[in-house]
Amino acid sequence: MSNPIRLFKTGTLLIVATVVACAGVTLPTVAQEKIAVAVLMSNAGDPYFANKSYGYQVYANEDEGIELEFFNAGGYDKLEVQIRQIENAITREVDVMLVTPIDAKGVCPAVKEAIDAGIVVVADDTGIACNFKVPLFVTENSNQTGFQQCKFLAEYIGGQGGLVAMWGAAGPAHIRRRQEGCLEALKLFPDVKLLDGQHSGHGVEDGLKLTENFLTAHGDNLKAIYSAGSVLADGAARALQGAGYQPGDIPLVGIDMTEQSIKMMNDGWFQGMQPAQPVRLAYLLTKYGVALARGQSVPGQSVFDCCERVLLTTDYFVVTPEIFKTFPTDLALAPPGWAPPI
C-alpha cells in the first residue's frame, strides 16, 4: 500500500516524491533539480564588480542547490548586449535573474518577458524603473550616499567655496539618486556653490578629462570635487597631480572600496571613502533571489514604486583614514587575485 504522492513546488521545478511501504520497499526520492541563477553584470571590468562577483560566489558555495552563471555586457553603454543576454537566459529557462541594468528603463521590455516566463527577477543594486514591479530590489541607500559625500565635502572646505560634480553615467537609477542626495546636502550650505556638474563614463580617463576641464573653466574657485565612484575620483586625483596640486588641496571622496582607492586614501588624495560593501550586497541578492524561487518569504519593504520589496544596506557613511584603521573590509573587498568567473 502506497503513501499519498506529495508534490513540492520549488521555483519552476516540480518535485515528485513517492514512498512505497509495501513489502518494506521504498522507492528513491526524485533528486531535486538545482535552481539556475543568472548574474547579469553591466561592466565586469570595473573593480566594483570584481569585488561584487565574489559575493555571489560565496553564497553559491554555501548552497549546493543552485547553479550560478555570470554574464558581462562589457560596458556601461552596452544596453543591446545586455538585452540579448537577458533574452538568452530566458531561452535557457533560468529560475532567477540578478540584473544590474545598464539603463534602468531600457531593460524593461526584456525584464517583462522574463517575469512573464515565471523567472524571479531581482533588481541588482542600480535599480529598474519600469511601469511594472519586479519582486525584489537590493541596493545601497544611494540618496544617502550622495548626501553624505557632499555634506562631508562641504564641511571639509569650511562651508564655503565652489564645488564641481562628476555625476557619472546618466542611465543607472542609483547614480541619479546619488546626484539627488548631493544636491539636497548642498542646500544646507548656502555659501557652497555648485560651479558645474556633468555626466560621463566611469573610467579613470573620464575622471581625468572632466577634472582638467573643470580646472580650466573654474581655476582657483574650485575647492572640492564630487565623484560618483572611486574610479572617477582616481582620474580626478591624477588630473590634480598633473596640474601641480598637492594631496588634500582639493578634497575627494571615493565610492566603493578597492585596493586602488585604499592606496589613494593612504597617499592623501582621497579624504575619505564610502565602502559600499559589494560582497555583502551580492550575497544577499543571491540568497533572497533563490529564496523567492523556492517560494520562501524574504524581508524588505515597498519603499520604491519599482519593486514589491526593497532591502537597503546602510553603508553610506564616509570612512576617513582614522576610521579605516579599525574598519572591517571583508564585506567590501574580494580576496587578492579574485576575478569574476566569466
284-304 pLDDT tens trace: 999 999 999 999 999 888 777
Closest by Cα among 6, 3, 32, 1 to 19: 3
Reduce the DSSP state of residue 162 to 3 states and report it. Answer: strand
**pLDDT at position 193:** 98
CA dihedral 110, 202, 155, 221 (to 10 degrees): -130
**pLDDT at position 240:** 98
Enumerate residue ranges in the chain where pLDDT < 70.
1-32, 314-315
CB atoms within 10 A of CB 235: 26
Which cell numbers in the block locate residue 316?
553610506
For residue range 90-126, list pLDDT tens digits in order: 999 999 999 999 998 999 999 999 999 999 999 988 7
Residue 132, Cβ density class (10 Å: 0-12 exposed, 13-18 middle, ≥19 buried)? exposed
**pLDDT at position 32:** 66
Q: What is the pTM of this model?
A: 0.75
CB atoms within 10 A of CB 131: 9
**pLDDT at position 275:** 86
97, 286 contact by CB (below 8 A) = no
93, 105 contact by CB (below 8 A) = no
**pLDDT at position 2:** 35
73, 42 contact by CB (below 8 A) = yes
CB atoms within 10 A of CB 180: 14
> How many CA atoms lie less than 13 Å away from 254 in the CB half-sphere?
30
**pLDDT at position 86:** 98
